[in-house]
A and B are shown apart, each in its own frame.
Chain A
């Protein structure tokens, strides 16, 4: 038999800080942020453009996505296949990320290839061919991608949830990549015009993170410093507003599971309650033994996992409790959830708060120990309008959260009686029992993928 050793105590954490960037400006005004991280052999380069998605004309939403996806399909100097081949020969990966707050064009490349790869990257961003055939293909591929998303119950539920939670005139209510009706209207002329009007150095930031063996300022200046666009127009970001609460059931006849989204309009990181709601939502649905997961997974075995997520935008945001439950138990799971999310009589405890603070504090050094992690966070901060030392500041604020403040912030944002509900599941079996749970106005809709062909 082994000896019994008592459970070890945790030694206090070492003081840690998010790396501070070096800042410089390229001759055309692009802001350069560099993070030298020795030992990180893959450089992560993010070009962050001040290009909120509400810059897209309403009738051709998706044009930004099509434009971004066609950037690496060839440039004025290298035709389509040649361009991609050159980039891949450098061992580089090229990607785009379009969010409501702005666009990111992303390059990952081994450190020794940075200079050559960044020149190619700059070509794609500044002088893409945007050929008609490539645009038309990417429109078709985007339409196919939407069909795939609608056929996936979790994605279909998330798409329906954003449409229900944000006021419908706002860009936030619709998919970042555009909906079928508008993507189908995107033409090669519209994409070229969008690139001309909105891709430019003004308001742009280039982030370089990793083992920067070459002089990063010279490399950045040499690739992007001469980019000019006199036609560039910058557009103010639109603030989303909440829609009236509603309840929607997307019918998936015969589905063995139902996907749940229950939530509402949220807050952003600049809201004074952000640290408090972060703690509260971790206790409610972030930790493994959160209030929701402890009961619905570990006690009842109803789900592989249930979470509560807050998704901040630059201003405002959304939150949702989300999970998949087998059809037989989803109604019971929803009823239990409706009770668990009330905190009036069971405020958050000091143990819950200290566990949340320890978790967020503990995972930070690891999360930001790679080039990719640092560059992602730096880009997020730029897009959200946050300072360079945001991570350190927010951890300090977290440590000062009290149980009372966490409970109060939660109650001010999460009103259990006023939540928007989306379920993707078998309507025949679920619609009436869900109505009986306080959703008499439940709308049943056919799944989008079944409406077509």
Chain B
């Protein structure tokens, strides 16, 4: 049994064992024999915040190149071999990280480790201009499909620009710009690989039907003789002050409904203030009992949808967002006013005890869900080891959130969510 359920709180006790290889690769094992499967997950401590000027989108383009083969693996074969072993395979890039993962029957564990080690060791041996060019086109298609060709697809970019200075590590999106993608060269790939794709900049999590000693032994076999590298320093970005001057911008496009978005700078994730703000955003805009939904969707019926959430980041400063999409005949300015008033009200009154209890209960279910699968549990271990230095934190998150009280939420809001601390984006329908 890994969880004790007592009263309102589930206390988690997933077994977590950590071991660092001589080359600095951190290996985390968490055995779970519920299914004959194993999740292999590598977090590299590199994301779009580590990109250089003029190379936005590069960390993500690099992630694609990682599937184009290495010294002993042909292009495309990384996924093909794993799928033929019954694996679900993928990778993602975000502001603070790039993660690569596969979950498969336990009998394929050696293959997965061998493939990950081969590209960590020898990616550049197989790199060609043709492969880079091909994946550049694939990434541009991804950008078109997910951002350029869908309604509101540019919101994230607009909010990034509003919230951070252009040269700040979080001042551009992970997908980057077409121009910068075009400018990427083979030399960029070489440099990025040497700076960031070294064993001492990675966390390998092995979760599932394998015992820790076995997991560590296999990690040693496949990764033990890789040379450590020189880790690139993290971009210099101390904590930023909250926004001031109420920055504001407008966009218009062929969208079905007009909308208003707010964004805020928040403190970095990892700490009581961020957790208190996370609960505040939940109370404000998560679910149908949230203040925004109750008032704007159910109450005045001025909005067809509302939301508020945080995006926790580690590099000094996080993001917070909220939005409301207008029903016909309601102007975004009117919604802006109503949303601002609801936030001000929560800030001055603080949440009710009931609201805080609900937000915590919803967090608990979300977190239990997250850890229910071995693949997402492996990812959470990599996340907490990479960003906070301790994978065991996944077992104490529910208790940490439970410890936040009403005053914590009110104080955090009064410091970070005052009316003059937000940015505003108005999204209009293009006249046709």
Contact = CB atoms under 8 A, between A and B. Distances in A.
Given A2-B226, A256-B144, A84 B289 contact: yes
Interface string A112-126: 110000000000000
Interface string B279-292: 00000000111000
B5 interface: yes
Given A88-B362, A110-B365, A365 B105 contact: yes
A81 B287 CA distance: 12
B149 A257 contact: yes
A345 to B, nearest CB: 23
A304 B7 contact: no
Contact of B372 (A113, A150, A288, A371): A371
A371 B298 CA distance: 32
B405 interface: no
B83 A81 contact: no
A153 B304 CA distance: 21
Interface in A264-298: 287-289, 294, 297-298
Given A8-B111, A13-B107, A140-B327, A303 B372 contact: no
Interface residues of B, number: 90
A427 B224 CA distance: 57
B369 A369 contact: no
A42 B141 contact: no
Interface stretch (A60-68, A90-98, A336-344, A412-420): A90-98
Contacts of A11: 106-108, 110
The number of chain A residues touching the other chain, given as a range, is: 35 or more
A152 B150 contact: yes
Contacts of A72: 288
Contact of A326 (B144, B226, B287): B144
Contacts of B37: 365-366, 369
| Most chain B Cβ neighbours within 10 Å, of A37, A140, A154, A363 | A363
B5 A257 contact: no
B256 A372 contact: no
A289 B76 contact: yes
B83 A10 contact: no
A297 B83 CA distance: 17
A15 B346 CA distance: 55
B138 A13 contact: no
Interface stretch (B91-99, B129-137, B164-172): B129-137
A151 interface: yes
A37 B33 CA distance: 12
A256 B140 CA distance: 11
A11 B107 CA distance: 4
A221 to B, nearest CB: 22
Interface stretch (A165-173, A183-191, A353-361, A396-404): A353-361
A302 interface: yes
B375 A366 contact: yes
B379 to A, nearest CB: 14
Contact of B85 (A37, A304, A362, A365): A362
Contacts of B357: 89
B10 A137 contact: no
B5 A213 contact: yes
B6 A112 contact: yes
Contacts of B5: 41, 110-112, 211, 213
Interface in A361-417: 361-363, 365-366, 368-372
Contacts of A144: 256-257, 304-305, 325, 327
17 contacts: A5-B221, A7-B111, A13-B86, A41-B3, A72-B288, A81-B298, A89-B361, A90-B361, A112-B6, A148-B151, A256-B144, A294-B76, A297-B138, A300-B137, A303-B141, A360-B86, A366-B35
Given A10-B111, A13-B105, A256-B149, 8 more contacts: A39-B3, A92-B365, A145-B304, A148-B257, A151-B256, A256-B144, A324-B144, A369-B374
Interface of A: 2-5, 7-14, 16, 37-42, 72, 80-81, 84-85, 88-93, 108-113, 137, 140-141, 144-145, 147-148, 150-154, 211, 213, 255-257, 287-289, 294, 297-304, 324-326, 354-355, 358-363, 365-366, 368-372, 449-450, 453
Top 4 nearest A-B pairs (CB, nearest first) are A362-B86, A301-B137, A11-B107, A91-B361
